[in-house]
Structure 1
Amino acid sequence: MAELLIGPLISMVKEKASSYLLDQYKVMEGMEEQRKTLERMLPAILHIIQDAEEKGASRPEVAVWLKDLKTAAYEANDVFDEFKYEALRREAKKKGHHSKLGNEVARLLVPARNPIVFRYRMGKKLRRIVQTIEALVTEMNTFGFRHLQQAQPSRQWRQTDSIIIDSDRDILSRSRDREKKKIVGMLLDQASNRDLMVLPIVGMGGMGKTTFVQLIYNDPAIEKHFEFRRWYCVSDDFDVSTIASNICQTNEKCREKSLQELQSTISGKRYLIVLDDVWNRDVDKWGKLKACLKQGGKGSAVLTTTRDAEVARIMTMGVAEAHNIENLSDEHLKEIVQSRAFNLQNPNMEEQDGILSGFVRRCVGSPLAAKAFGSMLSNRTSITEWKDVLAKSDICSEKTGILPILKLSFDDLSSDMKQCFAFCALFPKDYEINVDLLIRLWMAHDFIPVQEDDNPETLGKYIFEELTRRSFFQDVKQTLQYGILRKSTICKIHDLMHDIALSVLGKECVTIDGNKPSVNKQLLNPTRHLFLSIYGVFWKEQVTSLLKKQAAMLHTLFFTDYDDLLDISKYTSLRALHLPAHGYLSFGQEKLTTRHIQHLRYLNLSSHEFEKLSEGMSMMYNLQTLDLSHCINLRQLPKDMKYMANLRHLYTNGCESLTCMPPGLGQITSLQTLTYFVIGDGLGCSTIGELRNLNLGGELELSGLQNVTEVLAKAANLEKKEKLTHLSLKWNDDAPEKTDSHNEVLDALKPHHRLEMLRIQSYKGTNLPSWITDLSMLQHLTELHLIGCTLCEEFPQFCHFKALEVLYLKKLDKLRSLCSHMVSTPFPALKQLWLHDLESLERWVATEGKEDDELTFPVLEEVDIKNCPKLTSLPEAPKLRVVSLDEGKPLLSLGIVKSRHMSSISKLKLCVHDTEALPEIDYNWDSSQKLELSLGGTEAAPLSELSISGCNFFFVSSQSQLTPGVWKWFEHLAVLTIAYCDVLIYWPEEVFQSLVSLKDLWIKSCNMLIGPTQAKGGEPTQTTDQVLPHLNRILISNCESMAQLFILPPSIRFIYIDNCPKLEFIWGKEEHLDAYTSLEHCRDPASTTGTLEQSPSPIIRRPCLVNLIIRICDSLVTLPNLPPSLKQLHIWSCEKLCSVSGDLCALEDLHIYNCNKLQSVNSLGDHPSLERLYLCDCRCLASLGCDGGRGSYSALQSRKIKCCPAIDTKQFY
C-alpha cells in the first residue's frame, strides 16, 4: 500500500501547468511545446491513475512504475513552482519592488534572472521531465490500465450477524458491562414511547462496536422485552429494498413490495433491529426506510454501528445523542493478549508483565489490536522474541488482519482527503496536533484543492471536520495557549490510524523523536517530510550526516525545538519550515537562500531572539504563513512586506518590542490573520487605517492606541469585520492622560456585534462607550477583560451579559460593585471570575429585596481574588469548584474553610501576606463542626488540591486552633502545597494521618521546620501507623532549618530537595548513621578493606523510587540504600557529601555537579542501563562502582565529564 497515493500529486501538477499566471508574465516563453505535451499526458495519466494505484498493491512491476511516476511528478511540481515564483517576481518588479531593495540584499538574495539564462535553465529541466513522463506513458500503455468511473471494484466487506463466536467473549462481556447496562436500560425504558428510538454506536474500526451490539442483542432482558428482533449487516450498499427484504427474510426484489412487507411484518410489534456497519450518508434513503420502521409498536428501537459521526447524525436527525464507544481498559486488553499469547518457556514473570504492559499501551483501547498482538505472540516462545514484536514500528499490516478492516475507512475517502490524512504520519504517535497549524501545512503543500467559492482555510476546516466525523482524528478539544487571545483546537490520531497513514506515505515521511531514534533505518530512503525532536550529541551527528543526502528532496522540516543541528541552506525544496526556538537561541536568517525564498509557503520562527528581519524576506512571494509569535526582541518587520502578495497569516502576538508595522500593509488583501498590530508615531509606519480593506478573522490585538485619532480609528472599519472574534485594545501605560481622545477613539473602534472576546487595557477615559454598555450590542460576548482603566467611573452592568462566561477585572480603582441593582437571573452563564487589585470593590451585587434562595452566580465554577481588601465574603455559587484567594489579612481565607462552599470545591489556593493580623476567632465553636454542617453530615469534602501560603491558622500552634479538626475532612486530597508557614516546626504527622489519598506534597520556604516531632528524650517520635500511604512525589525547597524528613512510604516515586542547608538525613537518622559508620570504617587505616561494601538489604524500603534530585544540601554526608528502581539521580552542590551507594542497575540518567568531597558512587554491579552521564567539579570522585569491563556503560549515549581529575574517563568511551 505504501507510496501508491499519486493521483492528488498528478492533479496538482496538471493545475499548475495550466495556470493563467504563467501566461500573463510569459515565464514559459520558448517552452510552449513541452508545456502542451504535459497538458496532454497528465490528463491521460489521471484517467487511469486510480486503477494503477489499486493494481500497484498486488503487482510489483506496477508499484515500481508508480514510484518512478511519483518521483517525476515531484520534480515537475518543483519546476512549475519555480515558474510561478518567477511570475510573481516579475509582477512585484512591475510594481517597483526590486528598485527599493538595497544593493546588498539584491546581490545576496536575488538570483540571476536574465530572461535568456532563465529560459535556458528552466527549459533544460522541463525537457528532461517531459522525456521521463513520455517514457512512463509508453510503459503505462503496456499495463492495460482502465478508467474507473464512480463505481469501484467490490471490496471485501465484513459480514456480521448476531451470534457471538469471539473466543474472548467472557472478557469482552465483563469489559463492556457498564456500557452495556447503560444501553440496555435505555432500550427498556422506551417501552411506552410511541416514537421510534434510533441509537447509533460510533467509533473507529477495531474498537469492538459489533461485538458490543451483539452483547446487547443477546442480553436475556432484551430477548424477553422485544417481540421481534433482526440483525442485518449493511456495509457499503444501503439499498432500502435489500435491507427490508433481509429484515423480513424474504427474496422480494421489488422495492415497493419489500417495503410493504416490512411494514406488515413489524406492524404493532415492539421490535429491535440492528443495522451493523452503516456508511450511508443519503438522507433520502434513510428517510424511506425510517418511514416504514415507524409502523412498529411502542418502544421499538433501531441500533446501528458506524465509524462516521455524520452518518449517526443523519440517522438521529440531530435530535438524539449517539453513543461513542469507549476505549477498552488496560486491564481487559491485557487479558485478551494473555488469553491468546501465553506459550513462553520458563517465563520471568516480572519482565513478562512489563512487556505485556508495553503491548497494552500500543493497543490504545482497541480490542482488535489486542487480539492481533496476542495472535502474533502465540507462536513465539521467548522473551526476546516478544521484545522483537514490541519493537516493530506498527502492527497495522495484512498479517495481523487489522489493515484490511481499517483500510475500509481510508478507501472511502476522496483522494484529497487521503492526501491530507496521510501527511499526518509526520507527527509522532500521541502528539497533540494544532489544527490551525495542520491546515496551514496542508495549504503549504497544495493538498487542499482550489475552489473559486471557498478559501483554502474553509476547505481545510471542512476536510478536518470530515476526517474527525469518520474517526480519523480523536480527542479534539479547545485549549488556551500562552500569549494567545483565543483558544486553539488540538487533536490526536489514534495509534492504529497513524499506522494507516504511515502505510500510505511509506518512507517519504520520517519521524525522529526522543533520545534513542533509529536514525540509520529511518533515513536510508528518500524523505519528503521530516519531524525532528532528538537529544544527545551522538544522535545529532548521525542525523546531520544522513540528511545531507536527503536535503534537496525535503518538503517539510518540522523541529519541535530549534537547535543549530542542520545547515538549513541545503534544504532547497522546502515548502514548510517549522523552527521555533523557545527563546534561548537565534536563527541566522542568512541561512535562508534564494531557493528557500521561492518555495517556502509556511515559515515558523517563533520565540527567536533576532531584533529585525532581513529585507530580503519581502521577496517570499509564495509565503502564506509567517509565524513570528513571541519574538520578544523583534523591533521591526521588513519595510516592503506589502509585496508579499500571497501572505495570508501573520502571527506577531508576543512581539512586544515592535515599534510599528511596515507601511502599506493594507495592500496584502489576502491577509486573513494578523494577531498583533502596533501603531507607531513616526514616519514609515502603517496607520490603523491600513486595516480597512483587510478581511481579518480570529484574533487581533491593537497596541499603541495613544497614537490614534478618532478619524483613523473609524477608518479601521472594525465594525464590518464579522470574522474577527477576539479583540484586544491597548493604550500604553505611561502614555499621557488624554481623557477626551481616549473616549472618542474607543467609541470609533466599535467591533462587529458577533464579537466573542473583548479586552481593554490602560484606557484613560472616564466612561465606556455605549457599544459596551448597551446590552443589545454584544450579545455574543463570552469573555470580557478590563485592565488598568484607572480613571473610569461608569461600568457596564456585568450581571446582565447573558452569554458572558469569563470576566477579568484588574486595577479598576473606582469600581465598587459588579452590578448596581439586582435582576431576576444575574450572571446566567458566568463560569470564571478574576478580580485583581480592586481596592474599592466592597460588594458583589445590590441585594435589597433578594430572596434567601435566589442564586447570584448559578453556574460559576472558578473564582480568583487578589488584593480586594474590602471584600469580606464569597458570592453564592453552588457549582464552585476552583477558588484562589490572595490577600493581606485572612478574612476570605478563614471564611472559605468554614463555609458551605467546601461541599463543592475541588481545588483551593490560599495566600495570606499579613500572617500576624488574624481576626477575632470564635473559639467556642470548632471550625471542623462548621465544616461538618456545611458538608451536610459526615461525608468528606471533595477537595483534591490544596495550596496554602502564609496560612498559619491551619496548624495547631496557631491561635485559631483550626487544626486538626478540619484536616480529617480532607481524605480525598491528592495534592498539597504548604509555603511560608512559620509556625510549622515539626512535620505535621497528625495532619498526615488524615491524608490517605495524598499523592503530591510540596513544602516551600517553611523556615522554622526542623523535622519529626521530638519525644521527651529528644529523639524523633515513632508513629505506629504509616503516614501518606499513597504519596508518589515530594518536593521540598528553601527550608533553612530542616534536618530530617519524615519516614517516606514505599509508594514514593519522585523526590526533589533544593536548598535545605541543614538537611542531614533523607531516609531516617538510623539508616544514615549505619551508612556513615560503614564509611568511617572504610577510611580507618587499620581496616582490612579499602572500599565501602554495601550489605544487601533483605527489604527494599523504597521499591518504587524512580527520580531523586538533590540540590544545595550542605550538611548531607551520605546517601545510602538507593533502590534498584531508580532511573534518574541528580546531585548538585552538596559540599559535604562523601558517599552515594545502592543498587543502580536501572539507572539511566546520572548528573553530579560540584560535590568535591564525593569519593565514590557504589553500585551493586555495572551500569547496564545508564544512557546519560554528567560529572562536573567532583575532584575526589574516583569510581562509579563498576570495573569498566565488557557490558559496563553499554547503553551510554551522551556523556560530559569536566573537572573530575581522579576518574578514568576512558571507560566511558
Structure 2
Amino acid sequence: MDVCESLKHARTLMQINLDRRDDFSVRIIDPCHLLEELKCLRVLSFKSFSHEEDLLHDSIGELIHLRYLDLSYTSVVTLPDSLCDLYNLQTLKLSNCKKLKKLPSNMQNLVNLRHLDIKGTELEEMPKGMGKLKDLQILRYYIVGKHEENGVGELGELVNLGGSFRIEKLENVVNSREAWRARMVDKKYMSELCLEWSSDWVGQSLYHNITELVLSGCENCWVLPSLGQLPSLEWLEISDFDKVKMIGGEFYKDDGTDHHCEIPFRSLKTLFISGMPCWEKWESFECDDDDAPFPQLEVLSIWDCPKLRGDFPTFLPSLKDLGIARCEQLGCYLPRAPIIRQLRIFDIQEARMRDVPLSTLESLSISGEQQVEYVFNAMTRTQPTSLTWLEISNCSSAISFPGDSLPPSLLSLYIIDCKNVEFPMQHQQHHSLQSLHIYNSCDSLTSFALPAFPNLKYMRVQRCENLTSLEVSQSRSLQDLSVSDCSKLENIRLPATLSQLRINKCPLLDERIQKKDPHIWPIISHISYISVNGKWIRNDSTS
C-alpha cells in the first residue's frame, strides 16, 4: 500500500520488474490493484512482466489520461472491454503476446490511436469497424474477415498507414469491388506490402468452381500458390512475376494438406506463362503416369522467360498447341505430345525435341539451326501428311527440303533468315501451296518460276540479293505480289490474274516501271493497283 501511495500522482510507469527469487521478503504487488491508484498515468509499460493471470482489470478504463500502453512479451490472454474507453490512447503495443487471440470488440472507439503493434500475436480475426481509426500510422498486419464490418474494405479509410504492412486471409475477399475499397493505391507512406493467403486456400470449396484465373504483375511474389488443387480450373494465365525463380511441388499440391491423391490441374486446358525474368526451373511432379498433372491440357504457351532451363512436364497426352519463344537458355526435352497439332518454337538454342509426330502436325513454326535441322531430318524419315503451315527461320546451315519437294498438304510457307536453305524448285506440280514468303533467304535462288505452284495466290519476296528474274506468268491464281530489297532483280513476268503489285527498293526494276519501259510496261498494264517505293501509281489503262 505504501508503494501505491508513493506513486499516486505518477504520470509514467515504464518498468515493473519484481522477481521473487531475488528477495523473498518483497510483497507481490497485484497489477490490478496498482492501477486503481494511478489515475494520472500517461505512460504505462508491463513489457516482459511475468504474470500467470491476465494483467488488466476493468479498472484500466479509468486511466482516461493514458497515451501509451505496452503489454509486449506478456502472457495476456484477453483484454478487457474497458480498454476501449481510453479515448486518449495513442500507442498500444501487444508485440509477441502469443496467447492473445482477439482484440476488444469496441477497438473502433480508440479514435486517437496511432500505433497498434500486434506483431507476434495469435489473432484469429480483426474486430469490426477498424476503419474508424483514421489516425493509425503503424499497423503490422490486417486479417481479412468474412463480414463487411471486418472485411478488407475497412482499410480504405486508413490512408496514413506507413512502413511494412501485411494483409492476411485474402481468400476472404469476395470480389474486385471489395478489394478496390481497400484503397491500397492511396497509402503513400507504405514502404512494403505483403499479400498472404492461407496455406490451403485454393483447396477450399469456395474456389472449386473457378474456371478461369489470371495472375499478373505480382512483382514481389516469390512462390506461386497451389493452383493445382482447383478442380474446375480450365484457363490459367501467369505473367510478370519478377521474383519467382522456381515452380516446384507447391504449384501442384500443398504438402501440408490431404488432398485424397487428386490429379493436379485435372481440368486445365489452357496455360499461358510469360514475363518471368528470374524463372530458372520448373520441377517435374513425381507421380505415376495415371496421376500425372495436366491430363487435359490442350494449349501450353511460354514466352519471355530468358533464364528458364527446364524441366517440362514429361507427357501431355491431350496437348494440341505448344508455343515457346524468347526462352534462350532452355535446354531440356520438350513434352511428349502424341496428338499435337501446332508447334511454335522461337529463340531457343538448346531445347531438344523428342520424336515430332509429323502425322498429326498441322502448323509448324521453328527457329534456330538445331531445330530446323532436326525437323528436316525428321521429314526425311517421315513425310508430313497433315501439315498446312510451315515457317522456318534463323538457320545458317546448308539445308535442302527433303526430296527437293514440299509436303503435299502445305498451304503456306515462310522462309525467314535462312540464307543457305535451298528452295525446292520441284519438277512436279504442287497444287496445295497458296501463300509463299521468302525473307533474307535462299541465296542460291537467282531465278524463280511458278509452273510448279499453279494455285499460288499470295507471294512476298524480300532481300533475295541474287534474284535476277521472276517468272510467274503461268500462274493461274496469283493475285497479290510484293517484291522488295532485291537489288539485282531486273526482269519480271506476271499473270493476268494479278490484281495488286508492290515493288520496293528494287532499283533496276523500279526504273523500268517508272519510265514505263515498253519491254515491261505491257506486262503490268492490266494490274489495277501498282505501288513503287510506297507510292501508288495510277494505271489509266485499266479504267
TM-score range relative to shorter protein: 0.5 to 0.7
Other structure's SS at 1:1151 match: strand
Q: How does 1:532-611 map onto structure 2 within 5 Å?
A: none
Structure 1 residue 986 displacement after superposition: 9.0
1:1028 aligns to what? 407
Q: CA deviation at 1:743?
A: 10
Deviation at residue 840 of structure 1 after TM alignment: 5.7
Cα deviation for residue 1128 of structure 1 reads 0.5
TM alignment of 1:123-522, pairs within 5 A: none
Letter of the structure 2 residue corresponding to residue 1117 of structure 1: T
Are 2:439 and 1:1058 equivalent residues in the alignment? yes
CA displacement, residues 22-79 of structure 1 (integer Å, 9 cap, x when unaligned) = xxxxxxxxxxxxxxxxxxxxxxxxxxxxxxxxxxxxxxxxxxxxxxxxxxxxxxxxxx
* Residue 1032 of structure 1, CA deviation: 0.5
The answer to whether structure 1 residue 863 and structure 2 residue 265 are counterparts is: no
2:315 corresponds to 1:900? yes
SS for the counterpart of 2:378 is: helix
Q: Distance in 1 between matches of 2:139 and 2:492?
A: 67
Q: SS state of the match for residue 282, structure 2?
A: coil
- Alpha-carbon distance, 1:1130 to partner: 1.1
CA contact (8 A) 2:386 2:409 kept: yes
Shift of 1:904: 0.2
1:774 equivalent to 2:188? Answer no
**Closer/same/farther in 2, CA of residues 1105 and 947 from structure 1, 3 Å limit:** same
Aligned CA distance change for structure 1 residues 862 and 1117 (closer, same or farther; 3 Å): same
Residue 999 of structure 1 is aligned with which of 388, 396, 401?
388
Map of 1:687-1086 to 2, 5 A cutoff? 747-748=152-153, 766-768=165-167, 772-774=170-172, 777=174, 791-795=193-197, 797-800=201-204, 801-810=207-216, 811-819=218-226, 826-836=229-239, 837=241, 838-839=244-245, 841-842=247-248, 843-844=250-251, 845-847=253-255, 854-866=262-274, 867=276, 868-873=279-284, 876-886=293-303, 887-888=305-306, 891-892=309-310, 895-896=312-313, 899-901=314-316, 903-911=317-325, 913-915=327-329, 918=331, 931=336, 941-952=338-349, 962=353, 966-967=355-356, 969-981=357-369, 984=372, 988=376, 990-991=378-379, 993-1004=382-393, 1006-1012=394-400, 1023=403, 1026-1039=405-418, 1041-1042=419-420, 1044-1047=422-425, 1049-1060=430-441, 1063-1065=443-445, 1072=448
Does 1 or 2 have the higher relative contact order (CA < 8 Å, sep 6+)? 2
The one-letter amino acid paired with 1:1114 is: E
Q: In 2, distance between residues paired with 1:970 and 1:1212?
A: 46
Given that residues 362 and 389 in structure 2 are in contact (C-alpha distance below 8 angstroms), is that contact kept between their aligned partners in structure 1? Answer: yes
Q: Distance in 1 between matches of 2:398 and 2:208?
A: 54
2: CA distance between counterparts of 1:819 and 1:978? Answer: 33
Matched, 1:1186 2:537: no
- Which residue in 2 is equivalent to 1:238? none
- The one of 420, 438, 463 aligned to 1:1112: 463
Aligned AA (1:1186): P
Specify which structure has the higher proportion of strand: 2
- Name which one, 1 or 2, has greater alpha-carbon Rg: 2
Q: Could you tell me which residue of structure 1 aligns to residue 125 of structure 2? A: none
* Cα separation, partners in 2 of 1:1134 and 1:827, compared to 1, 3 Å: same
Change (3 A) 1:1182 1:1202: farther
Helix, strand or coil: the match of 1:1157?
A: helix
Offset from partner CA, 1:248-279 (integer Å, 9 cap, x none): xxxxxxxxxxxxxxxxxxxxxxxxxxxxxxxx
What is the alpha-carbon distance in structure 1 between the residues aligned to residue 503 and residue 348 of structure 2? Answer: 36
1:1140 matched residue in structure 2: 492
Q: CA deviation at 1:1158?
A: 1.9
Displacement of 1:791 in angstroms is 3.9
TM-superposed CA distance for 1:848, in Å, is 5.6
2:192 and 2:416 map into 1 onto residues whose CA distance is 38
Per-residue deviation at 1:831?
1.1
Distance 1:1208 1:768, change over 3 A: closer
Identity %: 16
Structure 1 pair 906/766, CA: closer, same or farther in 2 (3 Å)? farther
Q: How far apart are 1:883 and its partner, in Å?
A: 0.7
TM-score w.r.t. length of structure 2:
0.55
1:984/1:1043 Cα in 2 relative to 1: closer, same or farther (>3 Å)? closer
Residues 970 and 848 (structure 1), Cα distance of their counterparts in 2 relative to 1, 3 Å cut: farther
Q: Contact (CA 8 Å) 2:480, 2:498: kept in 1 or not?
A: yes
Post-superposition offset of 1:834: 2.0
Take 2:194 and 2:298, find their aligned partners in 1: how far apart are those partners? 32
Instruction: Sort the Cα spacing of 1:791 and 1:711 in 2 relative to 1 into closer, same or farther, 3 A.
Output: closer
Task: Look up the SS of the partner of 1:1023 in the other structure.
Answer: helix
Distance 1:870 1:749, change over 3 A: farther
Deviation at 1:765, TM superposition (A): 7.5
| Equivalent position SS for 2:497 | coil
Q: Offset of 1:905 from its aligned partner? A: 0.5
Unaligned residue ranges in structure 2 (runs of 5+): 1-129, 145-149, 157-162, 179-184, 186-190, 286-291
Cα distance between partner residues in 1 of 2:230 and 2:508:
64
**Residues 1159 and 1181, structure 1, Cα contact 8 Å, conserved in 2:** no
**Structure 2: distance between partners of 1:881 and 1:790:** 39
Give the Cα separation in 1 of the matches to 2:138 and 2:457. 60
Counterpart residue type for residue 855 of structure 1? I
Structure 1, residues 504-563: CA drift from partner, whole Å, max 9, x if none?
xxxxxxxxxxxxxxxxxxxxxxxxxxxxxxxxxxxxxxxxxxxxxxxxxxxxxxxxxxxx
- The DSSP-based 3-state class of the residue aligned with 1:988 is helix
Counterpart in 1 of 2:147? Answer: none
- 1:974 deviation in Å? 0.9
**Relative to structure 1, is the Cα distance of residues 807 and 766 closer, same or farther in structure 2, using a 3 angstrom cutoff?**
farther
Q: CA deviation at 1:1184?
A: 4.2
Rounded Cα–Cα distance in structure 2 between residues aligned with 1:1201 and 1:1027:
32
The structure-2 alpha-carbon separation of the partners of 1:858 and 1:1131, relative to structure 1 and needing over 3 Å to count, comes to same
- Change in Cα spacing, 1:1157 to 1:832, as seen in structure 2 (3 Å) is same
Q: Displacement of 1:1051 after TM fit? A: 1.1
Following superposition, the deviation at residue 911 of structure 1 comes to: 3.3
After superposition, the C-alpha distances for 1:156-181 in whole angstroms (9 at most, x for unaligned) are xxxxxxxxxxxxxxxxxxxxxxxxxx
TM value normalised by structure 1: 0.26
Q: Which amino acid aligns with 1:774?
A: N
State the one-letter code of the partner of 2:387. Answer: L
Pairwise CA distance, 1:1111: 2.3
Q: Which structure shows the bigger proportion of residues in helix conformation?
A: 1
The 3 A distance-change label for structure 1 pair 1104 and 774 is: same
3-state SS of 2:456 partner = coil
- The CA deviation at 1:907 is 0.6
Unaligned runs of 5+ in 1: 1-709, 715-736, 752-763, 782-787, 922-926, 936-940, 955-959, 1014-1021, 1076-1096, 1162-1174
The amino acid of 1:1033's aligned partner reads S
CA pair 1199-840 structure 1, distance change in 2 beyond 3 A? closer
Q: CA contact under 8 A between 1:1038 and 1:1058: conserved in structure 2?
A: yes
* Partners of 1:1138 and 1:1158 within 8 A in 2: yes
Amino acid at match of 2:341: S
